[in-house]
Amino acid sequence: MLVRRTKRLLRKIGLLPPLARPAAAPVPAPEVSPVPAPPPKAPPPVRSGGPYVVTAELKAKLHALGVDTLLPPDVRTLPSDSVFEPPCSIKWMDVLGRISIGSFSYGVSGHFNNVTIGRYVSIGEEVQMGRGDHSIAWLSTSPFFYLREDILDVGRDFAEAEAYHAFRPDTTGAAPFVQGRTIVIENDVWVGHRAYIRPGVRIGTGAIVGAHAVVTRDVPPYAVVVGNPARIARYRFDEALIARLLASKWWTLAPWQLEGIDLSRPAESIDLLEGRVAETAPYKPGLVRLSKIV
């Protein structure tokens, strides 16, 4: 007993090393059930007859065939009757109804419905083409009274939701609602940012539509239109040169087929341009029809 007390005292004042403590038994880690990986998200289905969802696979097909698009996959759609002549680009364009776009043309963004676009056309940001009209001769201009479809994509947890989803207006004997006539954009047209073009309007070859212009009537070839409503500010060239350019149909050739001609001075180069078109086979890449590749 005395020896143990003496050793404890000596250890307390540091003259003997402390006793080694037995190692604590390891605590086993709790078993964790593995969390299964979520199934891959399936892309939206391709709708029979369109419009077609722009999937990553469809973007890759279009890209390989000479059609550039920056639309986010699985978010936007394209009408089944869309037609493209490569190379061309629809970048971020929101296409509601049929579109046809020619070689060397591009659009940046905006709304497009029932539009035919020629070659060498440049379309800026947030351009509006073919916005549909509301009926103005009916009791109300609201489409709730003449469109036989759900106007709003809503759920069912609100008052009278079932009645809303079941309702279809009776349009018996009424004149049919017309979505809008085709807009035609000819060749070598430049449409500025946020321009608005009414359904049925034709923009002539070589014309320029100024930014924010509201175009309610046809635009002659090589005219520059600005304002609301759009008015002709001037023409790009004189009448004689415009007539020769239109007659030449130079846009039937690809850029590389016009090499060696000074395109910065069309008045001085018109003879060479006419001769080149006359002796060169037109550029014919074929058409990419969306309904054929999906």
Q: Could you give the residue numbers annotated as active site? A: 134
Distance from C-alpha of 228 to C-alpha of 194, rounded to nearest angstrom: 12
**The tokens of 185 are what?**
């954009």
- CA atoms of 244 and 267, how far apart (whole Å): 10
| CB atoms inside a 10 Å sphere around CB 210 | 18
29-to-25, 26, 32 alpha-carbon distances in Å: 12, 9, 9
3-state SS assignment for residue 133: coil
SS3 letters across 27-70: CCCCCCCCCCCCCCCCCCCCCCCCCEECCHHHHHHHHHCCEEEC
The single-letter DSSP state of residue 278 is H
CB distance 113 to 132 below 8 Å: yes
Q: How many CA atoms lie within 13 A of 41 on its CB side?
A: 6
Q: Is residue 115 a contact partner of residue 131, using CB atoms and an 8 Å limit?
A: no
Report phi then psi at 9, rounded to 5: -65, -45
Q: Which of 234, 256, 238 is nearest to 246 (CA)?
A: 238
* Helix, strand, coil share of the chain (percent; to 5): 20, 20, 60
Residue with tokens 């279809």: 168
